[in-house]
Structure 1
Amino acid sequence: MLPEAEINRVLVVTAHPDDVDFGAAGSVALFGDRGIEVTYLLVTDGDAGGNERTLDNSGMAELRRTEQRAAAKAVGVTDVRFLGYPDGQVVPSLELRRDISRVIRQVRPDLVITHHPDRNYQHVAPSHPDHRAVGGSALDAVYPDARNPYAFPELLRAEGLEDWTVREVWLTGGPNPDHWVDITEAMDRKLAALQSHVSQIAHVEGFIDFIKTRFATWAEQAGLPSGRYAEAFQVVSTA
């Protein structure tokens, strides 16, 4: 794995508001504690989400952007970007690869965190079609697009964005994690981030207990002592 001391910038690429907070907000908070710069890139505004909603899609998109910025603030992230693709309609495309490559070249991260591109047959929720499309496109943007000076030449010609090599990718939501981060010290901040998404979780009874149970289970799988919490990832080297 990439040595911790060599991670200076992290880019998190997700499909919807709240995806990063379910998958990686604890790890993000810990990155911030170490002075690591973190940027969020959300492909959609989550305009097709919400429970018992009274807002149209435009109003829901605005609300969910606001909720995501509040959630990001809870874990110390201020750079939050949205691509504005339609929620529920994301597909792998050259356009999406270019848009993610653009942000990779702007941010120049050492580490990218994104969705696992494969369907998880153990737990269906991480396998939302948007998640899989974004994960696959983000991996394609990492390799080969963002590092290839001849891919999307308009990014250099028109925007001055030179190629950049991401050194490692962490995937969330996959069936076979191989890296766990002890987030116990950041669990309160992760919960605060998740609770910022009122439009998505206010109707869920026992939400906090559900989250604590889920991430305590990951900690148990990681071999951590009772009472600890962990987030799980699959690590992909780009060497």
Structure 2
Amino acid sequence: MVVAAHPDDAEFSFGATVARLTDEGTEVVYVVCTDGSLGGSNPRPSADDVSAVRYAEQRAAAAALGVHDVVFLGFRDGELTADVALRRAVTRQIRRWRPGIVLTHWPQRSLTFPIGASHPDHFAAGEAVLSAIYPDARNPRAYPDLLADGLEPHVVEEAWLPGLREPNHFVDVSRYADRKIEAILQHKSQFTEHSDPVASLGWVRDRMRHNGSYVGCDYAEAYVRIQTGSNAGAGPPPAPADSAAAHSLRW
């Protein structure tokens, strides 16, 4: 499961990884928290019209990566908070889809990455998702109405967050970098009319290339991988399987 704040966040943060997962037979579902109504630079369209366009673009981008199920929670763009309403909504989807791994935003503001990584909706979503993973989704006493709807508790085994700080897991996406760019380009409304969309995404490819340099491949996406399963916290974190250095862990 990928839980993103806005339409297009999943592609920018995780797109090549998603393409690899689906290509290898993993079922991936998107959960998009906001309505995307503040996206774009044109002030004239109504919020409903913008949302409709962005929802359609998100479905097209997901399909380009092999994702067939996209859930829109519909919270107001720009007003997301890690409150009980968002935690409950995410918990509902975790119990509904029962994922083994959840990919979501970094739950804090980054002072080292470009400021776009720290949109307030991003770290609100990240915190709410981690709170939904633990303790909400696994706790049978949390949100009893979900039990009444037949949504039993579920334990997520791992959470993967963008590697904004001390990444410990790198995914080799050398075969999927172009698919990521193609998926991002589905979000046509988010590019200015007179810009070259492909050229404007050069930084996306550069970041994947930089990540790949750590693990000896052409392109990679970097994560902080957190063990969240039943035995998480029962002992010291496992050492990377293929190196003594955490940054060299690779899939």
TM above 0.5, one fold?
yes
* Residue 129 (1) aligns with residue 134 (2): no
The residue that corresponds to 2:24 in the other structure is 34
The residue that corresponds to 1:163 in the other structure is 153
Q: Do the aligned residues in 1 keep the contact of 2:106 with 2:164 (CA within 8 Å)?
A: yes
Cα offset, 1:53, TM superposition: 4.8
2:18 is paired with a residue whose SS is helix
Unpaired stretches in structure 2, ≥5 consecutive residues: 233-251
Cα offset, 1:125, TM superposition: 1.4
**1:194-205 correspondence to structure 2 within 5 Å:** 194-203=184-193, 204-205=195-196
Aligned residue identity for 1:154 = D
Aligned residue identity for 1:125 = G
* Residue 141 (1) aligns with residue 132 (2): yes
Q: Deviations over 1:130-152 (max 9, x none)?
A: 00100000000000000011111
CA distance in 1, matches of 2:45, 2:216: 43
**Which structure has the bigger radius of gyration?**
2
Aligned length: 225
1:87 maps to which of 67, 71, 77: 77
**1:1-239 correspondence to structure 2 within 5 Å:** 11-123=1-113, 124-157=115-148, 159-172=149-162, 174-203=164-193, 204-205=195-196, 206-220=199-213, 222-225=214-217, 228-238=218-228, 239=232
Q: Do the aligned residues in 2 keep the contact of 1:39 with 1:80 (CA within 8 Å)?
A: yes
What's the TM-score, normalizing by structure 1? 0.90
CA distance in 2, matches of 1:21, 1:183: 13
Cα offset, 1:50, TM superposition: 0.5
Cα offset, 1:224, TM superposition: 1.8
Question: Which 4+ runs in 1 deviate beyond 4 A?
Answer: 202-205
What's the TM-score, normalizing by structure 2? 0.86
Aligned residue identity for 1:31 = L
Q: Deviations over 1:13-38 (max 9, x none)?
A: 01001101001011111111111110
Cα offset, 1:54, TM superposition: 3.6
1:22 is paired with a residue whose SS is helix
Q: Name the stretch that deviates more: 140-149 or 168-177.
A: 168-177
CA distance in 1, matches of 2:70, 2:162: 19
Q: Do the aligned residues in 2 keep the contact of 1:115 with 1:173 (CA within 8 Å)?
A: no
Q: Tell me the percent identity.
A: 43
Unpaired stretches in structure 1, ≥5 consecutive residues: 1-10
The residue that corresponds to 2:242 in the other structure is none
Cα offset, 1:178, TM superposition: 1.6
